[in-house]
Structure 1
Amino acid sequence: MMHFSARRLLALSASFAILASVPLSASPGWADEAAKPAKSAPAETKKDDSPFSFKPQQTVSDGTVTIRGQRIAYQAVAGTLIVHPKGWDDAAPEKTTKPEEEPVASMFYVAYFKKGVPAASRPITFVYNGGPGSATVWLHMGAFGPRRIQTADDTHTPAAPYRLVDNDDSLLDVTDLVFIDAPGTGFGRLGGKDKDKAFYGTDPDARAFTDFIAQFLGRYKRYNSPKFLFGESYGTTRSGIVANMLAEDKSIDLNGVMLLSQILNYDNTIDRPAANPGMDMPYVLALPSFAATAWYHKKLSPMPSDLPAFLREVEHFALNDYNSALQQGTALPEAKFNEIADKLHQYTGLPVDYLRHANLRVDGGEFEKTLLGEDGIDTGRLDSRFSGFSIDPLSQHPYYDPMGSALGSAYLSAFNDYAREVLHYGGDTATGPYEEYKPSAHSIGKWDFHHEQPGMPSSKRGVPNVLPDLADAMKQNPALKVQLNQGYFDLGTPYFEGVYEMNHLPIPRKLAGNIEIHQYMSGHMVYTHAPALKELHDNAAAFIRANDNLPN
């Protein structure tokens, strides 16, 4: 799903000193002598001065962070790797296009390697946000990087100065981390003819990430490390494809896939289900998140005291009575219609008359406008704990996401300082021309959502359903484990939608035990709520330890 829309952002500092700024061809090898400090390069050897050079780049720095009482020394590498679209072959004897016309993408990343650990004894986790077309500043500076931006919990974070702190919930205690920005975002750039078409699409994007990961493993000698993916939002869609592509195209098995705020089948989205009449599951799957939001804003009477227990009740009603009523359509008897409307009012706090006029079907935007609408306030979409004044109180859907506006400036301002002052990337007086960090590719209007499902070359669906991709990866690698993490207050990718999709993966029942699910008292970006971030860290760390295949 789109990660915010207008006001995108980033984050700031990590306490480590710069060591060297070297070309990638001279990069140190983090292998059996993993994370040795890089040798200082000659003064004249540094990152290419061209801000848009399609050559691999890197800067290297050192740092330390204390996580749960454990002091960890690490090396940070910020840089770019170069990827090409499907069919590109650097060994092709004949080229029909000029090199400058060939589509190409430099993908920006920041990697953190714990010092003194052999590669085969240290897991590596590839981390990315979604969008599609979003940079990974959110997970980097809000969740798992060594430094974390502090923001208000469910209200607008005041303007600068912002505060970065050592991240007690970084995953560096259990795994090396590689934060990858999508093509066209961060300090990465696209070039060549038809560059947007070459990278802005469900399958081209997944292929770029697959090639990036394989290339990274080779450059940093990490092929024999336990390997994990961690994707958020559209990043879960991407992970379903990448997990299978890595196995099919690169013969790379993963140890585990971690999903945060999942959407694998876009037929289930609650954003605009009216465009797909006859498909009523989005209303069913969003209802528990509507109920959680109404509970949070105290719009229920009586107010349940135990939210998880209340939501189990709503889930049962949604899958049974509510689902049955919607499936009957206009054949639903009027008495049953009114009964369901009354029950929906009890669970959502929405007016009964409104629910009747909506034909028992309220989409995400309509709910966000209506729950607090009498006060001229919209709830957040990605995190409905947030709320903000309506731009147009009479509109059917909100014009902005209050959560995005509340957090955006903090993340963007912080990361821009962090990248330049700590990672020494992006241009300053020492390292060359200023480069813009792009939190979004603004590619949603250009995105080709068609997806070719595995084994079905003619299955180009108009909206992606990557359940078959993840299922194929699990069936071919029966040891592959999957972890789903979800926030109760997420109206962008409702938590019950993810549960439903996990229960409908086309896998043998024996493999269902490979999946674990965790829910949190937070929204789409679970980590913006500090207690939820601690739980997320502990669950992800336990998942990695349980599946890294390392001796105890």
Structure 2
Amino acid sequence: MDKHLINVNGIIFVSQALDYQGSSPYVDDNIISYITYIPTLAATAWYHKKVDTSGDFEAFIDASRQFAVDELLPALFKGNALSKADRKQIVDGLHRYTGLSKQYIEQVDLRINAFRFAKELLRDEGVAVGFLDGRYKLDERDDLTAAPKQDASKVIGPAYKAALMKYMRTDLNVQWKRKYLNPGDPELSDNWRWRTAPDGQGWEPRYVNTAPDLSYVLRSNPQMKVMVASGYYDIVTPFFDAEYTLNRHGIYADKIDYHYYHGGHMMYVHEPARVALLRDTREFIKKQVSQNQR
């Protein structure tokens, strides 16, 4: 028996990305991303008051989910076979939930690229919203580009890197002279290995998808459950993609606990979201530990 083999009875995903099809909005023919991003775009448009905010936020988000699945998905599947009346209905819906102009929606052929949305939403104000957190804004010099050149929410990074380095050196007494790179640093991310097969084996490129592995583990370990923490304004790993991913692949619904926070990819930068995330994490761990002791 492998002496390093262990079993766990809980996994916590913070801003998950298991099936990359639902979080790859920059691939033009990726119909799925045009669906999975709609609720996040709706939340971001709500935050910046580009849509009707007179009602309830969660009801609005839920309605955007239903629109994306029940109306937009069939429409994109039909392509140029979509009737003029149905097309108009889709344009109206996209305008209602994203705040983008009907002219723009027509120009992009009903296919809203989430990264371009970050530039288009507040174009009339001359600012772009963030990818990691759509609440942040950045005044870019070039107001005519299709998508932002910078991520407005990357201002978060330096503070966390500085805090981490201080903690490692002063509290943990870790001393090293080599450069520390943030996880999203190009020197790291540009060298990620995307193949799902060993080098030398035949492989047809596809979206990275590790959700089937999770499905297998959950079936192998009946005590295991998964907590999924998602930020409403995360334009990198949208919360509806988490639902799309984990509601499929043979994963049982009662194995997944979804939690949503008013924040972005790192929802904990918003103090109320940080407190809520901490509370939910503690409750999840206590529950799983208690069940395992029975």
Partner of 1:414: 163
Residue 382 (structure 1) aligned to one of 132, 137, 144: 132
Partner of 2:267: 526
Q: What pairs with 1:72-471 in structure 2 (closer than 5 Å)? A: 250-274=4-28, 277=29, 279-300=30-51, 302-404=52-154, 406-426=155-175, 434-440=177-183, 442-452=187-197, 461-471=205-215
CA spacing shift, 1:308–1:249, aligned 2, 3 Å = farther
Deviations 1:35-92 (A, max 9, x none): xxxxxxxxxxxxxxxxxxxxxxxxxxxxxxxxxxxxxxxxxxxxxxxxxxxxxxxxxx
Give how far 1:424 is off: 2.1
Give how far 1:414 is off: 2.7
Q: Distance in 1 between matches of 2:272 and 2:118?
A: 25
Q: Hey, which bits of structure 1, 4+ residues long, moved more than 4 A?
A: 247-250, 457-461, 549-552
The structure in which a higher percent of residues are strand is 1
Q: Which has the larger radius of gyration?
A: 1
CA spacing shift, 1:248–1:264, aligned 2, 3 Å = farther
Partner of 1:483: 227
Q: Distance in 2 between matches of 1:461 and 1:546?
A: 40
| TM-score (normalised: structure 2) | 0.91
- 1:482 touches 1:516 (CA, 8 Å); kept in 2? yes
Give how far 1:347 is off: 1.1
- 1:271 touches 1:363 (CA, 8 Å); kept in 2? yes
The amino acid across from 2:262 in the alignment is M
Deviations 1:432-454 (A, max 9, x none): xx44333246232232211149x
Give how far 1:248 is off: 9.5
The structure in which a higher percent of residues are helix is 2
- 1:426 touches 1:435 (CA, 8 Å); kept in 2? no
Q: Distance in 1 between matches of 2:131 and 2:289?
A: 35
Q: Distance in 2 between matches of 1:551 and 1:321?
A: 46
Partner of 2:256: 515
Q: Distance in 2 between matches of 1:386 and 1:264?
A: 26
Give how far 1:265 is off: 0.9
Q: Distance in 2 between matches of 1:338 and 1:446?
A: 44
The amino acid across from 1:547 in the alignment is Q
**1:541 is aligned to 2:282:** yes
Give how far 1:249 is off: 9.9
Secondary structure of the residue aligned to 2:188 is coil
CA spacing shift, 1:551–1:264, aligned 2, 3 Å = closer
- 1:270 touches 1:364 (CA, 8 Å); kept in 2? no
| TM-score (normalised: structure 1) | 0.50
Give how far 1:257 is off: 0.7
Q: Distance in 1 between matches of 2:203 and 2:6?
A: 25
| Equivalent residues, number | 289
- 2:75 touches 2:87 (CA, 8 Å); kept in 1? yes
CA spacing shift, 1:494–1:304, aligned 2, 3 Å = farther
- 1:391 touches 1:399 (CA, 8 Å); kept in 2? no
Partner of 2:248: 504
- 1:368 touches 1:380 (CA, 8 Å); kept in 2? yes
The amino acid across from 2:189 in the alignment is I
- 1:450 touches 1:463 (CA, 8 Å); kept in 2? no
CA spacing shift, 1:304–1:282, aligned 2, 3 Å = farther
Secondary structure of the residue aligned to 2:228 is strand
What 5-or-longer segments of structure 1 have no aligned partner? 1-246, 428-433
- 1:338 touches 1:356 (CA, 8 Å); kept in 2? no
Q: Distance in 2 between matches of 1:468 and 1:460?
A: 18
- 2:116 touches 2:147 (CA, 8 Å); kept in 1? yes
CA spacing shift, 1:512–1:288, aligned 2, 3 Å = same
Deviations 1:343-363 (A, max 9, x none): 111111101000000000011
Give how far 1:250 is off: 4.9
Secondary structure of the residue aligned to 2:189 is coil
Deviations 1:353-385 (A, max 9, x none): 000000000111110000001121000111101
Secondary structure of the residue aligned to 2:90 is helix
Q: Distance in 2 between matches of 1:331 and 1:411?
A: 50
CA spacing shift, 1:408–1:477, aligned 2, 3 Å = same
